Amino acid sequence: KAGVTQTPRYLIKTRGQQVTLSCSPISGHRSVSWYQQTPGQGLQFLFEYFSETQRNKGNFPGRFSGRQFSNSRSEMNVSTLELGDSALYLCASSGGGASSYNSPLHFGNGTRLTVT
């Protein structure tokens, strides 16, 4: 079974621009969540989608948004980029149904975003 795939692997953007990151979950997984990882803040939850609906949202500004398609693939968008948005963005899929807490997360290798 193929793992979680994230594209692109690396991205360099300028302040004020916007960016879209893509995530393809493991086949059959309907839950997709996104995380931001920085050396200072660690791994922080952005949002989770399940069957095309946002099920949960973390404490990030509205510049961070996402969506999920009917094939469970997900995209994350960050508008009006700031220097502080430089981070590793990780996507994870889960085979859990209505509840996610007892299912392992399967992570992709992330998109490294650098904002200059």
Partner 1 sequence: SQKIEQNSEALNIQEGKTATLTCNYTNYSPAYLQWYRQDPGRGPVFLLLIRENEKEKRKERLKVTFDTTLKQSLFHITASQPADSATYLCALYGQNFVFGPGTRLSVLP
Site for partner 1, rule CB under 8 A: 4, 33, 35, 42-45, 48, 56, 58, 90, 92, 100-102, 104-110, 112
Q: How far is the CB of 23 from partner 1 (least distance, A)?
A: 11
Q: How far is the CB of 16 from partner 1 (least distance, A)?
A: 27
Of the pair 26, 115, the CB lying nearest partner 1 is at 26
CB 33 within 8 A of CB 47: yes
Q: How far is the CB of 107 from partner 1 (least distance, A)?
A: 3
- C-alpha closest to that of 29 among 109, 110, 106, 108: 106
What is the number of helices (H) and of strands (E) in the chain?
Answer: 0, 11
* DSSP per-residue codes, 7-54: E-SEEEE-TT--EEEEEEPPTT--EEEEEEEETTTEEEEEEEEETTEE
Of the pair 75, 107, the CB lying nearest partner 1 is at 107
- C-alpha closest to that of 100 among 57, 49, 52: 49
Of the pair 18, 56, the CB lying nearest partner 1 is at 56
Q: How far is the CB of 69 from partner 1 (least distance, A)?
A: 21
Of the pair 61, 104, the CB lying nearest partner 1 is at 104
